[in-house]
Amino acid sequence: MIVTRTVAEFRAARDELLAGGQTAREGLGLVPTMGYLHEGHRSLMRRARAECSAVAVTIFVNPTQFGPNDDFTRYPRDEARDLEACAAEGVDLVLAPSIEEIYPEGACTTVSVGPLSRVLEGAARPGHFDGVATVVTKLFAIAGPCRGYFGQKDAQQLMVIRRLARDLVLPVDVVGCPIIREPDGLAMSSRNVYLSPEERSQALGISRGLRQAEAAWVDGVRDADSLRALVRSEIEAQPLARPEYVSLADTETLEELAGLAGPGALLSVAVRFAGTRLIDNVVLGG
């Protein structure tokens, strides 16, 4: 596995890898991450490994997607452990750049994805998706033609990235991958390490609420308000949980559903436990 720190090093290593033997699986698989890798990230690497002839992971805690009250400085980091995880998953190439490498002095171009970026996570974290869209566009530009792997846990992020790749005609296939959960149902996230044991146990109300609403939908409950209320009451039963939103929205536009929820509707939540903010979602009907 080759670890690079600069765009030039990354591109030279990528060119060499791709010039190597042709296999049944063609091209580069790119897994952009902010590090502190867990099983969710590893599932993206495994999928890329199965589908692509070369696999690259980027590890970069992107400052521009954190707001002034977000957790940029305390975001967990452990590069040595991350590199071990990448090597164990058969990753060929890692880019772990400095902030200056990605945002050189004077960098002032940003990418903004319009209305999709301004609801839900975008409303709660103004500017967040401009930071995500800008860095992901840069990472795609650095990588060149590739398949880009992203988790469905950040469902809105995945939609924003699909839209930017389409609108900017980028030579990237965006691949969405399923949410990976702990055995007790908690969606895996680098931020789970912030939870106290009590918060960790109450956080299970999130996946429980989503599961209950999903089961109700399967049993024929279609009223959007009733489905949102089911999730909200399960979360609000946890004394340490502060729900920021419980949304049931159209999967294409993210507009809140007013009447009935058909298959494909996105049920998503953001919940605060003191300083820790967790998100999770389920797509009704699978």
Q: Which residues are designated catalytic?
A: 41
| Pick from 30, 143, 34, 42: nearest CA to 84 | 42
Give whichever of 32 and 209 is closer to ligand PAF, judged by the CB atom: 32
Instruction: Work out whether 154 is an interface residue with ligand PAF (CB under 6 A).
Output: yes
Among 4, 43, 53, 62, binds ligand PAF (CB under 6 A): 62
Among 3, 13, 34, 133, binds ligand PAF (CB under 6 A): 34
Distance CA(137)–CA(65), nearest Å, equals 13
Distance CA(156)–CA(137), nearest Å, equals 16
Task: Using DSSP bridges, classify how beta strands 266-273 and 242-249 pair: parallel, antiparallel or unpaired.
Answer: antiparallel
Of 32-40, 72-80, 174-182, 193-201: span binding ligand PAF (CB under 6 A): 32-40
Among 28, 29, 33, 282, binds ligand PAF (CB under 6 A): 33
Give whichever of 32 and 243 is closer to ligand PAF, judged by the CB atom: 32
Handedness of CA 158, 162, 167, 170 (dihedral sign): positive
Of 31-39, 177-185, 224-232, 267-275: span binding ligand PAF (CB under 6 A): 31-39
* Binding-residue total with ligand PAF (CB under 6 A): 10
Among 7, 30, 55, 136, binds ligand PAF (CB under 6 A): 136
Instruction: Work out whether 164 is an interface residue with ligand PAF (CB under 6 A).
Output: no
Of 111-119, 130-138, 203-211, 265-273: span binding ligand PAF (CB under 6 A): 130-138
Instruction: Work out whether 142 is an interface residue with ligand PAF (CB under 6 A).
Output: no
Among 32, 40, 209, 243, binds ligand PAF (CB under 6 A): 32
- Least gap, CB of 262 to ligand PAF (angstroms): 28
Of 18-26, 88-96, 132-140, 192-200: span binding ligand PAF (CB under 6 A): 132-140
Distance CA(143)–CA(274), nearest Å, equals 38
Give whichever of 37 and 235 is closer to ligand PAF, judged by the CB atom: 37
Give whichever of 52 and 59 is closer to ligand PAF, judged by the CB atom: 59
Distance CA(259)–CA(224), nearest Å, equals 6
- Least gap, CB of 16 to ligand PAF (angstroms): 25
Give whichever of 43 and 62 is closer to ligand PAF, judged by the CB atom: 62
**Contacting positions for ligand PAF (CB under 6 A):** 32-34, 62, 65, 132, 135-136, 154, 157
